[in-house]
Structure 1
Amino acid sequence: MESGPKPGGFFQDSAIDSDLESEDLNAQAQEYINRVLLSPVEGSRPACCISPEPLCMGTRALCLKPGSSLDLKRSPVSETLDSSCLLLLPLELILEIFAYLDARFVLKVLPLVCSTLRDIVLDKATWRIRVQKRIQACYPVVEGEDFDWPAACADLEEQLQHWSEDGRKMEHFSLGDGHFASVDSVLLLQGGALCASGSRDRKVNIWDMRKLGQEEEKVLVKSLGVEHNETHKGWVWSLASRGNILCSGSWDSTIKLWDMEAEGQQCGEIRGKAAILCLAFQPDILVAGSCDKRVTIYDPRAAHPLLQSQKVHSNAVLAILADERYILSGSEDRTLVIFDRRCNDVLQRLQLDYYLRSMSYEKPLLWAGDGHGLIRVFENRSGSFQPIRCFDIGHRSQITGVQCSLGALYTTSTDKTIRIHIPTDHPRTLCTHSHNDVVNGISVVGNVMAVASGGQSVEVWRMNES
């Protein structure tokens, strides 16, 4: 792979033009499906890819990265005569006792007991030791200077609890009566209380996750803005949200905005010139990637929302991410473009050997799924994104959804599987769910996971609290 800065601004041309001729939306969308989603994987996989290994939950051996050190200190109060018997123990035994307590309990309660326990809990080594004993693998892939070991440990242990034993503790619900065509996008809202789904039946449905297990007509809240039984005039391909506003992007070249605090009433519409394939929503901007090779920035609060737009790719934009500093776009042209919002300039243009279908950014790492079924990892090194890993995590075709947290990596694929991994170096698979159709996307919030199915359904897994 080669990378290098591109001179000049990213969004200097604010005029929108389109190379696409006016044609039937369904035919245009189907041509895209045939070209991008159904095309066979060509060539062999890169030699750098590491095949997956199952996560072993047996003996609790300590696995350290080369050069790392987890020195166990003696108990800081071992010489204090009036200390409790517990605190007179060697530190390694205290940590062993801590291992039987929930990580969040350790974080929230033990520091309130005494200053000695507070010092142990605040020590980064406490959590590094605990994590390494839990997973017996090299973790994380890259440890940044501000890596939050306590939060990582708590998240990791929750994922192990949810998905160990092949996810037997998770309840599964199939919501199959709300759509009559392939579901291509899902998005959990309001902390996982609601779920939005977008489909090729041109509708956006809202589901109440708090009513899972009841009759499906009670779980389905409504279809947004339905006019002639449609939310849009084309396939609904992408969803994004910020606060109480939900955005839906469609093959009809529009982005519609919905106020979830006002029972899903439409509160805006942005008209483009080409199909909207991906969206990213930040507090100040809405970014759209479209079929006409463009990345476009909008301010949905303004009367005239278009801010800037430019062709930065030579083919359709398939995946997009944004935060307060960067906009990242992946295209069918097999490039990844990184734009610095502060400098209003392209930082890099990375040429890849296959296009990216999905991305997830957990600083400093960008996790991306490609059309080969591989996971590629890029590290942000002071504003320069460098490819550092390429993993085979078991998918046999395109990775359509990626979501990464400190403790878990979720992936979906057109190979009809959903996989949950620990984001170690290399990822260890906790659980694999096989489905009866292609899986088009994923959203995970708290103890709820929702996926979009080509079989006209929304599949949901929820932690069984009983």
Structure 2
Amino acid sequence: MMTRELDSVSKHIENLTIHAEDATEENTLSPSTNEQKHVDFTQMPQEILVHIFSYIDADFLVNVVSLVSKYLHDILSNDQYWKMRLYKKFPQDFPIVNDSNFSMADTSKECISCWKIWKKSNGLQNNIVLSQPSGCTVDCIHLTEDRNLCICGGRDHNMTVWKLDPEPGANIDTSSEKIPQKHLNHHKGWVWSINSRPGEICSTSFDTTMKLYNMQGLEITRSIRAQAPVLCSTYVDEHTIAAGCINAKTIMVDSRSGSIIRSDNFHKRSVLKIESDSNYTVSTGEDGVLIIVDIREMKIVQKIRTRGFAMAMNSSGKQIWTGSKTGLVQVYNAKNPNRVYEAARLDYGFSGKVTALRYTSGAVYAGSTDGWLKIFQPTLKPDCLGELHLKSDGLTDISVVDKRLAVSAGNGMVTLWDPASTPPSEDPWDESA
């Protein structure tokens, strides 16, 4: 496969080869007297290669061309090349918050891939409705990282699990009736949040319980009782779950024993959203405060007053994205957890509250109570990659894995977008990108 693709690259580069002799006065070359000397493109000057690479698909450059020689690998490992390439296509600064772990090559691939899928191909128009409007609000939606399951929970106390084909694009031409589904009715109150780790699913509910399920058979493995309705949750590590409750408490749960190992009053009102890595939790509440907690010492390292309490949040790497009831999206620089500050305030044109938000290096996915789903570039002056108005009584949650997108709504509707991946074509030269 690689040999065939490299041959394709070589054929294109041969079109740029330098002829050994000048043309005749008639500006023609005689094949009998002039031989074309082929240039080894692995030895061409860097300036020429950079120009040639600008016409070649980014995935192909990273996955094929960079493996040909150390010389080519060094060029394609340079962040300055990818920054220049990305800026040429999208004259914006990427990312809003930079950090040492940031990869310009990955960002370039993601940005161009998202542009192709959502803008160039108008990808939001191609979707499948997994659940028709029922009048009963679906408050949460979750796609598992293995791409096998889509799970929603609602105010009818039930969860619905759809078994998906993990192959990108494989589900979109299938009718929803043909996608296997299973209903779980273990809760006795509204289902507020769903999360997962490999092999396990966690749901939280207004009935004050957290339920754990085996991912393969969807059997319930443990029920954990809190002191109040549990509104949000996140996996800290394989065996620890952090959750936020309506009584303003943040709890830490050992999933093996089912015991609550800590309970803290970091917020003054209901904890609406919580996310975590192995060192810190980030939570927002109805008190309008964003709180960062060092979970190694279980102490607050910073409190930030937000502009209207955040109804949606996504923490990714060194940045925190929030969506507020004012309709704005705020981005916080979290490179230093002890000094988190607002880096940007973005207006995506919503007339309602921002209730759903997911950030990736290639796109930001946002939804509002006004019924609009919008996809933007993750930049200070974002270009809209796509927007769609769903007659839905407002959007409640968004889940994104790769480019697979699921959205839940206030009228019970669940919609799935499953675009095909965008690998290099037979001809890896992609001037349109």
Normalising by structure 2, we get a TM-score of 0.82
Q: Give matches, 1:153-302, under 5 Å.
A: 153-165=108-120, 167-168=122-123, 171-177=126-132, 181-210=136-165, 211-224=171-184, 230-261=185-216, 263-283=217-237, 284-302=239-257
CA contact (8 A) 1:418 1:433 kept: yes
Partner of 2:416: 460
Q: Deviations over 1:8-40 (max 9, x none)?
A: xxxxxxxxxxxxxxxxxxxxxxxxxxxxxxxxx
Q: Distance in 2 between matches of 1:260 and 1:382?
A: 36
1:421 partnered with 2:381: no
Matching residue of 2:11 = none
Match of 1:451 in 2: 407
Q: What does 1:392-407 correspond to in 2, within 5 Å?
A: 392-407=347-362
Q: Deviations over 1:216-259 (max 9, x none)?
A: 333242012xxxxx331111111111111111111111111111
Q: CA deviation at 1:111?
A: 2.2
Structure 2: distance between partners of 1:415 and 1:387:
25
Aligned-residue CA RMSD (Å): 2.1
Counterparts of 1:20-419 in structure 2 under 5 Å? 84-87=39-42, 90-165=45-120, 167-168=122-123, 171-177=126-132, 181-210=136-165, 211-224=171-184, 230-261=185-216, 263-283=217-237, 284-302=239-257, 304-383=258-337, 384-419=339-374
User: What secondary structure, in the 3-state scheme, does the structure 1 residue paired with 2:59 have?
Assistant: helix
On the 8 A contact 1:178/1:220 being kept in 2, the answer is no
Q: Secondary structure at the match of 1:158?
A: helix
Distance 2:162 2:133 in 1: 9
1:198 Cα offset (Å): 0.6
Paired residues of 1:358 and 1:402 also in contact (CA < 8 A): yes
Query: Partners of 1:178 and 1:266 in 2: how far apart?
Result: 28
CA distance in 2, matches of 1:310, 1:88: 62
Give the aligned residue type for 1:275: P
Structure 1 residues 83 and 310, CA, compared in 2 at 3 Å: closer, same or farther? farther
Give distance in 1, aligned partners of 2:43 and 2:420: 39
**Identity fraction in percent:** 28
User: Which structure exhibits the higher relative contact order, with contacts defined as CA atoms closer than 8 Å and separated by 6 or more residues?
Assistant: 1
Contact 1:286 1:299 in 2 (8 A): yes
Q: Secondary structure at the match of 1:192?
A: coil
C-alpha deviations, 1:50-83, integer Å up to 9, x for none?
xxxxxxxxxxxxxxxxxxxxxxxxxxxxxxxx99
Structure 1 residues 168, 190: closer, same or farther in 2, change over 3 A? Answer: closer
Question: Measured at CA, do residues 270 and 179 of structure 1 come closer, stay the same or move farther in structure 2, by a change above 3 Å?
Answer: farther
Unpaired runs of at least 5, structure 2 = 1-36, 166-170, 423-433
Amino acid paired to 1:252: D
Distance in 1 (alpha carbons) for counterparts of 2:178 and 2:335:
48
- Letter of the 1:336 counterpart: L
CA distance in 2, matches of 1:190, 1:338: 25
Shift in alpha-carbon separation, 1:215–1:114, aligned structure 2, 3 A:
closer
* SS of match in other structure, 1:127: helix
Q: Structure 1: any 5+ residue segments left out of the alignment?
A: 1-81, 225-229
User: In the alignment, residue 443 of structure 1 is paired with which amino acid?
Assistant: S
Which amino acid in 1 is paired with 2:183? Answer: S
Aligned-partner Cα distance in 2 for 1:318–1:391? 21
Contact 1:362 1:406 in 2 (8 A): no
Shift of 1:179: 6.0
In 2, the alpha carbon distance for the partners of 1:440 and 1:192 equals 21
TM superposition shift of 1:177: 4.7
Letter in 2 for 1:406: S
- Partners of 2:206 and 2:230 within 8 A in 1: yes
1:356-385 deviations in Å (ceiling 9; x for gaps): 111112221111111111111111132221
Task: Answer whether contact 2:124 2:386 (CA < 8 A) is retained.
Answer: no
Within 1, Cα distance between the matches of 2:43 and 2:64?
Answer: 20
Q: Give the residue type in structure 1 aligned to 2:311.
A: R
Q: Is the 8 A contact 1:247 1:258 kept in 2?
A: yes
- Secondary structure of the corresponding residue to residue 267 of structure 1: strand
> Cα offset for 1:125?
1.3
Deviates more, 1:98-107 or 1:328-337: 98-107
On the 8 A contact 2:172/2:417 being kept in 1, the answer is: no
- The separation in 2 between residues aligned to 1:157 and 1:188, in whole angstroms, is 23
Contact 2:126/2:172 (CA < 8 Å) preserved in 1? no
Is the partner of 2:62 in helix, strand or coil? helix
Residues in 2 aligned to 1:220 and 1:112: alpha-carbon distance in whole angstroms: 41
Separation (CA, whole Å) in 1 of partners of 2:420 and 2:334: 37
From the superposition, tell whether residues 243 and 392 of structure 1 become closer, same or farther in structure 2 (CA, over 3 Å).
same
- Give the partner amino acid of 1:415: D
Distance 2:293 2:71 in 1: 47
Rounded Cα–Cα distance in structure 1 between residues aligned with 2:388 and 2:231: 26
CA distance, structure 2, for counterparts of residue 94 and residue 252 of structure 1: 62
